[in-house]
A and B are shown apart, each in its own frame.
Chain A
Amino acid sequence: MKLDEIGTTLEAEWLSDRTGCHDRTGAEVLSCHASDLMSDVLTSTGEGSLLLTGLTNAQVIRVAEVADFVAVCFVRGKKPQPEALQLAGERGIPLLVTPLSMYDACGRLYVKGLPGGHRAKEIPSWRARK
């Protein structure tokens, strides 16, 4: 799923003009992590993944950078803090803001076929599928 389509699905606003990432609309997103707990997010790779979160501090961008996330989308219409916005611009991480709640945002993406990024081996149905 292209980042562009994610934006449309979530009815999200691009903060791209300010972060200089407008050329990333075609970036491929293969999975999604949704969490307000950065500690948990950091336990898996963000490669090819979208980070959905309600947190808006600059450490969210650090996490996205360090774990190789494709982009960050803030839920409930929350705008990132100025330091977060600036850091994202410096690091070339696209930012989106959706008016949807975390639940609804996840639901829409899941229905569109975007899987979760953390496919825990502990989940029985995942194990069975293998």
Chain B
Amino acid sequence: MAGKEVTKTQEMIYELQVREVMTRKVIAVASATLMGELRGILRDNRISGTPVVDDGNLVGIVSIEDFINWMSDGRPRCPVADRMTRQVRTIYDDEPLVQAVNKLERSGFGRLPVLERETGRLVGVITKGDIIGGLLRNLEVDYRNAERRGARSSHIFEDIIADRSLLRLEYQVRGADFGRAGASASGLKTSLGRLGIDPQTTRRVAIATYEAEMNLVVFTEGGRIRVEVEPGLIRLVVEDNGPGIPDIEQALQPGFSTAPDWVRELGFGAGMGLPNIQKCSDRMRLDSTVGKGTRLEVEVLMERQDDAEGSGARTGA
């Protein structure tokens, strides 16, 4: 395990660029700044050195070591220009982290000013702390991804021995509650991810659920979304108690909509909901009686494991 982490870190110091981890807010001083003022600047900003910049150009770097030497020389009154290091090692913002690591290691400096390649302007500073912080953040992202992959590979249905297994999830949707709309789709999406359902299938189901949920919110007093997860298949059953759809064929036409203006103003109600549900599903059945209610049943077949890799074909992208 440890060996693997090291490899990952090594990979990252080649992949990550300096600008992704550097500190952008640079505390800099002018070369005319007096050495006597330096102590306050370093202390207030809790830094151990600062670039020296005149008119946007980097002219040197002054560190706490320069400051100590100046003190031991009896604190002569002089500007930073007299005590700073003029031979500054810099790095460009688009260089890989490994360059920064090497330069810091070789020079023994604690920080490198970062320049933008095109303009040569100072855009940041990178320290070992920045590098460690950046690596840790990216390892965390990596860990989260790995955790998700881990969950995916532990296919729950493969561990269950039964002639038929079925997991049922249920969500209640309130009518006209636009603020809460999408909460069911969101909860379902998270749950399917945890169950180890592949991302393509999960996305298709989530989009279909979201569209159905939006229909419940906009057109009905509320309803219920039932989700059944079986090996290889996810079934959605969405039911409400009215008002019902007078002409189902018309409702399935892309662009046909009876949505009120307030819904359109929010970016919905363009008459794409049912056609989109159809597009996301492998089978769809819509029954409706005016005054009684509507029942929508949708089936989504899971991507087979061998063609799940990188194929988004089913989503029709």
Q: Do A and B bind each other?
A: yes
Interface residues of A (CB under 8 A from B): 2, 4, 23-26, 36-40, 42-45, 47, 53, 55, 57-60, 62-63, 65-68, 83, 91, 117-119
Which among B137, B140, B189, B312 is the interface contact of A45 at CB below 8 angstroms?
Answer: B312
B203 at the interface (CB under 8 A from A): yes
Kindly provide the distance from the CB of A46 to the nearest chain B CB, expressed in whole angstroms.
8
Do A26 and B211 touch across chains, with their CB atoms under 8 A apart? no
Which among B19, B182, B267, B270 is the interface contact of A66 at CB below 8 angstroms?
Answer: B182
Do A39 and B270 touch across chains, with their CB atoms under 8 A apart? yes
Do B179 and A39 touch across chains, with their CB atoms under 8 A apart? no
Interface residues on B, range: 35 or more
Query: What B residues does A66 contact at CB under 8 A?
Result: 182, 185-186, 189, 203, 206-207, 209-210
B154 at the interface (CB under 8 A from A): no
- Interface 1/0 per residue, B280-317 and A, CB below 8 Å: 00000000000000000000000000000000100111
Query: What B residues does A83 contact at CB under 8 A?
Result: 179
Q: Which 6 A-B pairs give the minimum distances between C-beta atoms? A: A62-B182, A39-B270, A38-B267, A39-B272, A23-B137, A45-B315
Tally the A-B contacts, defined by beta carbons under 8 Å.
91
B223 at the interface (CB under 8 A from A): no
Query: What B residues does A63 contact at CB under 8 A?
Result: 182, 210
Kindly provide the distance from the CB of A43 to the nearest chain B CB, expressed in whole angstroms.
5
Which among A4, A55, A91 is the interface contact of B266 at CB below 8 angstroms?
Answer: A55
Interface residues of B (CB under 8 A from A): 16, 19-20, 137-138, 140-141, 178-179, 181-182, 185-186, 189, 199, 203, 206-207, 209-211, 266-273, 276, 279, 312, 315-317
**Beta-carbon nearest neighbor of B19 in chain A:** A4
Do A59 and B189 touch across chains, with their CB atoms under 8 A apart? no
| Residue of A2, A57, A66 with most partner-chain B CB within 10 A | A66
Kindly provide the distance from the CB of B232 to the nearest chain A CB, expressed in whole angstroms.
21
Do A62 and B312 touch across chains, with their CB atoms under 8 A apart? no
Query: What B residues does A117 contact at CB under 8 A?
Result: 317
Do B267 and A36 touch across chains, with their CB atoms under 8 A apart? yes
Give Cα A91 to B276, complex, Å. 24
Query: What B residues does A39 contact at CB under 8 A?
Result: 267-273, 276
Which among B138, B209, B211, B312 is the interface contact of A23 at CB below 8 angstroms?
Answer: B138
Do B140 and A23 touch across chains, with their CB atoms under 8 A apart? yes
Do A43 and B279 touch across chains, with their CB atoms under 8 A apart? yes
Give Cα A82 to B315, complex, Å. 31
Do A42 and B211 touch across chains, with their CB atoms under 8 A apart? yes
**Beta-carbon nearest neighbor of B209 in chain A:** A66
